[in-house]
Copies of this chain bind each other. A is one copy, B any other.
């Protein structure tokens, strides 16, 4: 039987998981949970490819993954089977058969992440796992100025946690928006891709600018330094959402 290449549009609450990527025998990852249910469904293990790894505690509104499956089940049946056996903090919004060559990571064209902060003193009960509490107001104009320096194509070495792999540290950020929602701020980052911890370090750096701990003008120098020590802190995972992954042509 020909294997189908299935793309999955996923929503998950990362709070109780060790991130996206399956690690050895521990299945307490989003990828691991998906692979376990798919192995149950088809009788054999198949690797699920995510558009990118989300860290422990990071959430997704619209992660995209793909997997090659030997099955005669239709798109809706696969989605429903997965949702029946997945824990309730992981949801398959859509499942869709896509061309064999489609790869969720290699072909991702654009990603949108959002980062949520509460400027008030108290952590809102119903968002307590989804927001970082700062307890102080941030200077919006200063953050906007810093954000405009971060936009564009740059070497983001200063804004990522070093990994062994030799990947290019050049990325393009197309848009950074800072959207107020009452006492909360939503940082929206749209780019062609993000390095390890990059969104959290960008958020941390913007927060420090908003707090007056660094000037908006200093951000260009931080970029040029190509040194992680120069940038701000890594903002906590729980405020971060992978909001959307885009492809050309769009699949969802």
Contacts and interface: CB of A to CB of B under 8 A. Distances in A.
By size class, the interface of chain A is 10 to 19
A124 interface: yes
A125 B130 CA distance: 12
Identical chains bound together, number: 2
A128 B12 CA distance: 11
Nearest to A123: B88
A57 to B, nearest CB: 14
A83 B122 contact: yes
Nearest to A13: B125
Nearest to A10: B125
Interface centre among A13, A93, A122 (most CB of B within 10 A): A122
Contacts of A126: 11, 13, 59, 130
Contacts of A124: 11, 91
A195 to B, nearest CB: 26
A75 interface: no
Contacts of A77: none
A11 B130 contact: no
Contacts of A59: 126
Nearest to A91: B125
A123 to B, nearest CB: 6
Interface string A41-84: 00000000000000000010000000000000000000010010
A139 interface: no
